[in-house]
Amino acid sequence: MISISFFILSLICLFFIKNRFVKITGSIFSILFCLVCNFNFLLLYYTGNYLNFGNLNIFLSSIKGAPLMSFYKLIILIFVLILASILFGFIIYKRIKLSHKSFKFMGYLYIILIIVAIYFNPLTNSIKDMYRISHYQYHPNFIKKFKEIYKKPVIKTPKKSKNIVYIYLESFSRNFTTKFKNLTPNINSLKNRLDFTNINQIPYGASITIEGLFASACGYPYSVIKYGTKKDEKIELTNAKPKFKNLNMTCANKILKSLGYYTYFIKGGNLEFQNAYGFLKYMRYDKAQGKDELLKRGAKNLNEWGIDDDDMLEIAFDDFLKLSQEKDKFLQVILNIGMHVPNGFVSKKCKNLKYLDGLNSILNATKCTDFLVADFINKIKSSKYSKNTIIVIQSDHLMPYALAKGLNDENMGNSKIFFTILDDDIEGVKIIDNHGSSLDTFTTLLGYMGISDEMNLGRNILKINSVNKMVPGLFYQGAMGIVDSVKYEEDF
């Protein structure tokens, strides 16, 4: 408001300046200022923050390849705001052009007011913060703290050498299971599990799918932006997709492969989106299936983002049976797309399944996800391979509910990540309220199996406190900045 107040005062000054060039320049600046204010408003409304490296990640990694027409309402709104800003500048010029009054020193006052308006603008503050954060990793306190908590995984002989089916659910926030009556009855009724009720999304590096997968599997936030790793290097924003080849850290897949696990990944979306190929290659998956591969295998039902969940999960179950028969040990990672904002997608198997009056499309998609995922899990539970299989369900990230119809702070605010471990060895449902974060989920699974209790910044929260309460939010942006150079040696 301070910035806007000084901007309004600067406009008043234009009525008392005679110089035509200043009036034209002031009108053009008014257009630019309105565009910046609209940009700030949209960012704050849809992401909860002004410009930062977190939402910059979203733009750079997710726009290319996304079905933009799914967000046509937002695109129209942006177009209208641009036109309104231009019209505002034109009206201002028409009005000040008619004024012929002039006061001495008004031009100097105008310049001062503009400078103050720019100085207090949120975008200016964001740019200053981003510059400071981009060098935050060289701050002695950051380096000291990072060395204290960054841990190389110590691999132990597993207490449980079972197969793993790890299901990431698109935008499946925990509030869907608690704040909406009878929305997820099937998932809620699953037995023989540890239910983690206090898993928090870290503020940066785990807000979109590729980040969420990486944060979970590596216990580390990831950035699409390539930072300088030396003091004389510059930040590069030209890399529009994550690269993984230079990373030195050990992640869950590498640990499991060292223990003889075959690793397999399947999703309904395109493997090129958000450079999933790069992620899978770095994780050394033995096999990966995406939209193109599933179409060749007979999948028929499509939506804007890829293969419908019913087709994908049917193929995934066939692959589960095949893997159980042919592999000694395996990790099967599954990523669905049914609840992708803004509207979600209801598979054909759910055509008669609606939530309440059926008018809210994202809640209908959630209802469908509950049915399909529980059905998939129950088929595993009913198979002869159940006792030798651990199943994990986790949100890939929290739902960006500002983009979804009918969701708000009342029902989605302060939501947690959904995370549960199902194993026939567990009796009933055990509620685990230990504080955890996006970085702790896969590490907690490894700890539950007796393999490792620490992985980079991840912790087995069944035994060890999460680092999430030990560090400020800016710590994660600093960690993101050194992802290409971090090593397990003392000096990195």
130 and 160 inside one domain: no
Backbone torsion region of residue 356, taken as left when φ is above 0, otherwise alpha when ψ lies between -120 and 50, otherwise beta = left
CA distances from 280 to 149, 275, 452 (A): 26, 9, 22
271 and 413 inside one domain: yes
Question: How many whole angstroms separate alpha carbon 215 and alpha carbon 234?
Answer: 25
Q: Judge whether 57 lies within some domain.
A: yes
305 and 346 inside one domain: yes
162 and 76 inside one domain: no
What range defines the domain where residue 467 resides? 153-481
309 and 436 inside one domain: yes
329 and 457 inside one domain: yes
pLDDT-wise least confident of 145-149, 276-280, 326-330? 276-280
Q: Judge whether 467 lies within some domain.
A: yes
pLDDT tens digits along 40-76: 999 888 777 888 877 887 777 777 667 777 777 888 9
268 and 342 inside one domain: yes
Q: Judge whether 490 lies within some domain.
A: no
Q: Judge whether 489 lies within some domain.
A: no
pTM summary value: 0.88
pLDDT bin (cut points 50, 70, 90) of residue 1 is confident
User: 326: Cβ–Cβ under 8 A, 6 or more apart, which residues?
Assistant: none
95 and 206 inside one domain: no
Q: Judge whether 369 lies within some domain.
A: yes
Over residues 427-438, mean pLDDT:
98
Question: What pLDDT is attached to residue 490?
Answer: 47
pLDDT bin (cut points 50, 70, 90) of residue 204 is confident
434 and 285 inside one domain: yes
126 and 249 inside one domain: no
Over residues 171-181, mean pLDDT:
96
On average, the pLDDT of the chain sits at 89
Most confident of 191-195, 227-231, 269-273, 411-415: 191-195
Q: Judge whether 146 lies within some domain.
A: no
pLDDT tens digits along 388-414: 999 999 999 999 988 888 898 889 989
Total structural domains within the chain? 2
Q: Judge whether 351 lies within some domain.
A: yes
110 and 190 inside one domain: no
371 and 457 inside one domain: yes
Q: Judge whether 404 lies within some domain.
A: yes
Percentage of the chain beyond pLDDT 90 is: 66
pLDDT bin (cut points 50, 70, 90) of residue 18 is confident
Question: How many whole angstroms separate alpha carbon 136 and alpha carbon 130?
Answer: 9
Last-in-domain residue among 85, 103, 134: 134
